[in-house]
Structure 1
Amino acid sequence: MAEEVLFASYTTLRGRSEAIYTEQRSKFIAFAIPVDSEAAAMEEVQNFRKRYYDARHVCWAYRIGKEVPVERLNDDGEPSSTAGKPILGQMLSYGLTDLLIVVVRYFGGVKLGTSGLIVAYRTAAEEAIKAGDMVEVTLYSHYRLFFPFDLINPVMILLRQYEAETLLSDADLEGHIWEVKVPNSRAKEFEEALTVLYQLKAKRLAN
């Protein structure tokens, strides 16, 4: 099993949330939506564009992934870097990923200027985040274990020690075949412990 850096967890929102911010009669309606792919994020964006077809701007940003998150943003006609960038900045500030934030603006007749727009979009995005329920999600490594029947007690002790969860329990004529998951925070120690048990074979699976 090749050594690699494993991220133990990531933070996102448990569910959708929204907030409204008003500045100089312009209304900024912000939505925070958990997403797990770029395709899902863009589908949400298109749905908001259809739903709020009469709005002046539908600006957005998303951040997806754990190790090296993919980040995209769009000012949707607002001056460059006055909308998408401050929206993304709030996700970075709160350490969030797997999240899309859309801010819909209804123009109130008063121009806010570059600094005013940045503050408005940043505040709207932050209010949507605060309205949600932030949750830390534990990441796991998955393994398939092969071991003889008489080794079951030592294996069970090992699994308890490293907070492993059994996902699949099977057997053939030679012994047990189990699939388990271990928190990434314990995975390196777990892999080292696997080598101690004679006749136990382990294969790390792709997550």
Structure 2
Amino acid sequence: MNTNESAATSYTTLRGDSVHELEIKRSRFITYLYRVETEAEARNRIAGLRKTHFDARHHCTAFILGPDRMTQRSNDDGEPSGTAGIPMLDALAKRDLPDQSHLSDTLAVVVRYFGGIKLGAGGLVRAYSEAVSSGLDHASLLRRQRLRIFTLPASHALAARYENELRAAGYQIEPTHWEADAALVHIGIPDTPEAAEELRVHVAALTAGAGELATATTRWVDLI
């Protein structure tokens, strides 16, 4: 594996942005969830909400980025230390998902309008954790998967047949590269040793042992 590639080959993220509101002891907790891929993008989203909700007392934040979740940040934004950002981050990081995946590339911003009743440290921890968890309950999620793209050289006469038969077998067929005297069929598979071995066996049968697979690149895709 390329040393620049993540150890994870799949993870879960948001299908789209969402917003959900809770009222706890007269305080309004408005949770915004965004799909983001960079820290700069996350901070731009946060800055935008500060302008939209300029009259709110707090704009607490947490985000997790990357397939391996190497970037994790949180901010209490004026709430007592440890009562907002960290509970929000925990709600993202420890989210139970049915496929035992993990959540990433996700930003949570909880905008709080103070209702006049103090919640205490424990109450704030529960409120911010619940705000993010409830927001995720109402959000739509999807799985991302890293594909490894293999190339299969073929004559012009055989390339179309290889494409059709591989596609019929359930493989992801990327655009074929046509050269003057041959073609390169591109095949995308889940980036696992098992999937690679299965492809090699299939290609060997398809080409009567003449096909020689080579690795081209990898890319991340959303699974619909």
Q: TM exceeds 0.5?
A: yes
Partner SS, residue 128 of structure 1: helix
Match of 1:109 in 2: 116
Shift in CA distance, 92/24, structure 1 to aligned 2, threshold 3 Å: same
Shift in CA distance, 129/5, structure 1 to aligned 2, threshold 3 Å: closer
| Deviation (angstroms), 1:107 | 1.3
Match of 1:189 in 2: 197
Q: How does 1:13-162 map to 2 (within 5 A)?
A: 13-94=14-95, 95-149=102-156, 152=159, 153=161, 157=165, 161=169
**CA offsets per residue over residues 79-120 of structure 1, 9 Å max, x none?**
111111111111122232111110001112222111111001
Q: Is the 8 A contact 2:59 2:112 kept in 1?
A: yes
Q: Using the alignment, how far apart are the partners of 1:157 and 1:99 within structure 2?
A: 38
Q: Is the 8 A contact 2:163 2:173 kept in 1?
A: no
Structure 2 alignment gaps of length 5 or more: 96-101, 220-224
Q: Is the 8 A contact 2:148 2:215 kept in 1?
A: no
Q: Is the 8 A contact 2:8 2:67 kept in 1?
A: yes
Q: Which amino acid aligns with 1:107?
A: F
Using the TM superposition, name which of 4-13 and 65-74 deviates more.
4-13
Match of 2:11 in 1: 10
Q: Is the 8 A contact 1:20 1:27 kept in 2?
A: yes
Q: Using the alignment, how far apart are the partners of 1:2 and 1:99 within structure 2?
A: 25
| Deviation (angstroms), 1:180 | 2.7
| Deviation (angstroms), 1:2 | 6.4
Partner SS, residue 122 of structure 1: helix
Which of 191, 197, 212 pairs up with 1:200?
212
Using the TM superposition, name which of 70-79 and 139-148 deviates more.
139-148
- The total of aligned residue pairs comes to 206
Q: Using the alignment, how far apart are the partners of 2:21 and 2:135 within structure 1?
A: 8
Q: Give the TM-score of the pair, scaled to structure 2.
A: 0.78
Partner SS, residue 116 of structure 2: coil
Q: Is the 8 A contact 1:61 1:85 kept in 2?
A: yes
**CA offsets per residue over residues 127-184 of structure 1, 9 Å max, x none?**
11111112223331223332344654567655655x4222212322332122332123
Shift in CA distance, 191/37, structure 1 to aligned 2, threshold 3 Å: farther
| Deviation (angstroms), 1:188 | 3.1
Shift in CA distance, 104/111, structure 1 to aligned 2, threshold 3 Å: same
Q: Using the alignment, how far apart are the partners of 1:69 and 1:8 within structure 2?
A: 14
Partner SS, residue 117 of structure 1: helix
| Deviation (angstroms), 1:54 | 1.0
Q: Give the TM-score of the pair, scaled to structure 1.
A: 0.84
Q: Which amino acid aligns with 1:131?
A: H
Shift in CA distance, 148/17, structure 1 to aligned 2, threshold 3 Å: same
Partner SS, residue 108 of structure 1: coil
What CA RMSD, in Å, does the superposition of the two structures yield over aligned residues? 2.8
Q: Using the alignment, how far apart are the partners of 1:103 and 1:87 within structure 2?
A: 9
Using the TM superposition, name which of 140-149 and 112-121 deviates more.
140-149
